[in-house]
């Protein structure tokens, strides 16, 4: 990839691939569930039970009945998997409908709408960062753990996050095939600079940002291809790198 073809700018319109990135998480979660040993064991047991029950109850026409019941059994399990991962669909729907908030020039302290940063490669959006500058504890605490609001980001004067404008990252994603070449870093650096220019002394990730992994209970234990673990590692790295950026800016 030629870095000369990359451009990072502010925009007022959210790109479609923000919801698409959540759809990629949905696909990964579906794979994890379908390959889960408990899921496979339950499906195999159900098929085995269906086979023997059909042969016992309908000894003369069991092959025809089995051709109907086995697909129905498999479809039931696939629908159960889809239901388990439905939180991803709900999250994608929220992103498409009402995720972004428009700015209002009449707000105290300036615009309070979402800031959208995009990176384009040859004119096509491949990375997105969405953040919002928030003022006061009530706004910040809706996105961060109370301990963070109380303790993290205190300056020399003792001011905490609740007492100064805070930039809160609500979404951060890069198209999968372009990851690992520094695009995510560039988005974070650009976002921090914009927040500093608009008076925010601190930038943090929202605990419920749009691209955060959705917990799926026992199904989430089985990560068949390691993708979900890599997602968690990327998020941990991003939070650490965000601190490095801000430390370097003073």
SS3 state at 197? helix
**Domain presence at residue 242:** yes
**Could you tell me the CATH number of the domain that includes residue 182?**
3.40.630
**Domain presence at residue 129:** yes
Say what percent of the chain tops pLDDT 90: 11
How many CB atoms are closer than 10 A to CB 134?
A: 24
Task: Give 235 or 152, the one with higher predicted confidence.
Answer: 235
* pLDDT given at position 104: 42
Angle at 144 between CA 23 and CA 113, to 5 degrees: 70
**Domain presence at residue 31:** no
SS3 state at 118? strand
* 212 pLDDT more than 70: no
**Domain presence at residue 219:** yes
**Domain presence at residue 91:** no
Domain count, the chain: 1
Give the model's confidence band at 74: pLDDT under 50 very low, under 70 low, under 90 confident, else very high: very high
Tokens of 20: 């698409």
* pLDDT given at position 186: 92
* Residue 200 domain boundaries: 3-15+103-249
List the beta strands (DSSP E) in the chain: 6-11, 114-121, 124-134, 166-174, 202-205
**Domain presence at residue 57:** no
Report the alpha-carbon distance of residue 45 to residue 56 in Å, rounded. 17
Angle at 1 between CA 189 and CA 28, to 5 degrees: 75
**Domain presence at residue 51:** no
pLDDT in tens, 155-193: 444 445 555 688 888 888 888 788 888 898 999 999 999
What average pLDDT does the chain have? 75
Residue 200 contacts residue 85 (beta carbons within 8 Å):
no
């Amino acid at each position: 990839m030629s870095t000369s073809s990359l451009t990072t700018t502010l925009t007022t319109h959210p790109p479609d691939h923000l919801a698409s990135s959540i759809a990629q998480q949905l696909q990964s979660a579906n794979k994890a569930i379908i390959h889960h040993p408990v899921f496979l064991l339950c499906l195999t047991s159900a098929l085995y039970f269906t086979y023997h029950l059909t042969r016992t109850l309908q000894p003369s026409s069991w092959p025809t009945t089995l051709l109907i019941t086995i697909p129905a059994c498999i479809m039931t399990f696939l629908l159960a998997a889809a239901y388990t991962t439905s939180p991803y669909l709900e999250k994608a729907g929220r992103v498409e409908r009402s995720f972004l908030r428009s700015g209002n020039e009449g707000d105290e302290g300036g615009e309070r709408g979402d800031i959208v940063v995009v990176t384009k490669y040859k004119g096509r959006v491949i990375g997105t960062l969405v953040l919002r500058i928030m003022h006061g504890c009530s706004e910040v605490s809706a996105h961060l753990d109370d301990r963070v609001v109380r303790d993290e980001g205190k300056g020399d004067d003792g001011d905490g996050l609740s007492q100064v404008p805070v930039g809160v990252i609500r979404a951060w994603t890069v198209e999968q095939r372009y990851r690992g070449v520094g695009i995510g870093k560039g988005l974070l650096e650009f976002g921090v600079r914009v927040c500093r220019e608009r008076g925010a002394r601190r930038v943090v990730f929202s605990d419920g940002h749009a691209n955060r992994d959705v917990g799926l209970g026992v199904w989430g234990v089985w990560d068949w291809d390691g993708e979900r673990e890599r997602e968690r590692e990327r998020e941990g790295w991003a939070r650490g790198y965000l601190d490095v950026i801000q430390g370097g800016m003073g």
